[in-house]
Amino acid sequence: MSGIKYLKLFIPVIFMVFLQTCNQNRKMVGLQIEEKPVVELKHVKLRGKLRVVTDYNSTNYFVYKGHTMGFQYEMLEALAKHLGVKLELTVNNDLVSAFASLERGDVDLLGMNLAVTTDRMEKFNFTIPHSQSPQVLIQRSPVNDSTGFIRNKADLGGKRIHVQAGSSFQEHLVRLSNEMEMPIDIVVVDMLEEEGLISMVASGEIDYTIADENVAMVNSSYYPGIEFKTSVSLPQNLAWALRKGANHLTHDVNMWLMDFQKTKEYKRIYQRYFKSSRIEEMMQSEYFTVKSGKISDFDDLLKEKAKIIDWDWRLLSALISQESNFNPKAQSWVGAFGLMQLMPETAYRYDVDSLSSPIENVDAGVRHLKYLKGKLDETLSDKTDELKFLLASYNVGLGHVLDARRLAEKNGKNPDQWKESVDYYLLNKSKPEFFNDPVVKYGYCRGSEPYQYVNKILERYSNYQNIVLLN
């Protein structure tokens, strides 16, 4: 009996030790899979950039004649400007993956047309609506008459409808299907968003899909064979998503959005992408990159010439877009000419002039870039920021950039570092206390131009990388 009593007393002790061990193991496991902390506005400002995922399509984010455009793009640019930070934009047309990246804390915001559903609100914060749109059925026009159109949601039973994985269209169709005697045949598609599915309906690859009405309206100009007059939902709120718990950042974005939607700028942006006939003209153009994959008439030339300096051709395209907007006849007030806006003295060195062909102009410009890069290779010990130094040198001249390096070194800054070092002294080289410094050899320059030039080209290049294929 004494042994049994001893065992009864000992068992609870063993159980408590077991629980403590489990808790310790659970804590250890928690440390291994610990999520990133929730980011608020102060963290965004401290970081200096807002990390956003958007989708690439005919309304949200695209390139037209070399210019980055889109409803979401312009809205997000305005938000970043308001916050005083840089917009770091990446593309992901896979909604499941995009939401996962937000949940992990890899990004701060999903800047898309996201329907606010009950299921999503349990997992994420949502802003106030940036727009509204009902969901509509996309179907092909019958050959002879309109009797073949589906006009009632009840008639969707038994129909095969393709929708994007993780979309609100999928959620809504599942609810509709559960209410029907004959369920809807829902086919979920990965890595293809609503515009891709609209294209498949138009080509006859599939019979039906679901889209937001405003997106369907824009695409109907490009695919005249589709029909979208059958609504399958009431108008839904479309908003941006943030990480669950980012309540202060959500509040700050909402306060801005409420004010912004009252402005003429918001009305202009919405009108441009959803009400204007201009968007129809863009979609028909060969320079509408969503459909054509082209940036300009000179893509093949730039792919060839970029090899001379071992550049991505999209970077060379970004530079030329900034310089001449791809106009081979462009001429500036200071005499620069052609696609690469060569100054006469630079052009003379490479045996070209204003009458030379676009091929000769680009060839000369690229050879000049190669020359500048060679000089910088001899000068920079750390070449991490060499591209920024090279772009600035192409814009304002190598001498002024070397002056800014000398000023940085004199003032205890790293002369091989661009940001918050050489860029600062170049930006301020229009002020007497800077250009009159004894270390300055090339005098005054309007430093804001090369400063903005570098930022604009790299931003445009980033957008081209998001949207345009390398080859």
State CA 314 to chain mean position distance.
Answer: 15
Sign of torsion over alpha carbons 373, 377, 380, 381: positive
Sign of torsion over alpha carbons 156, 159, 164, 166: positive
State CA 228 to chain mean position distance.
Answer: 28
Cα separation, 186 vs 173, in Å, equals: 7
Label residue 438 exposed, middle or buried (CB < 10 Å: 0-12, 13-18, 19+): exposed
3-state secondary structure of 159: coil
Residue 65 φ/ψ region, left for φ over 0, alpha for ψ in the -120 to 50 degree band, beta for the rest: left
Q: How far apart are the first and last CA of the chain?
A: 84
H or E element: which one contains 139? strand 135-140
Cα separation, 435 vs 427, in Å, equals: 11
Active site (annotated) includes residue 323: yes
3-state secondary structure of 86: strand
Q: What letter would DSSP give residue 310?
A: T
Contacts of 98 (CB under 8 A, 6+ apart): 53, 55, 92, 110, 112
DSSP strands (E only) in 173-305? 185-189, 209-212, 226-231, 236-243
Tokens found for residue 307: 């090899």
Backbone angles phi, psi at 57, to 5 degrees: -160, -170
Catalytic residue among 103, 323, 378, 409: 323
The catalytic residues are 323
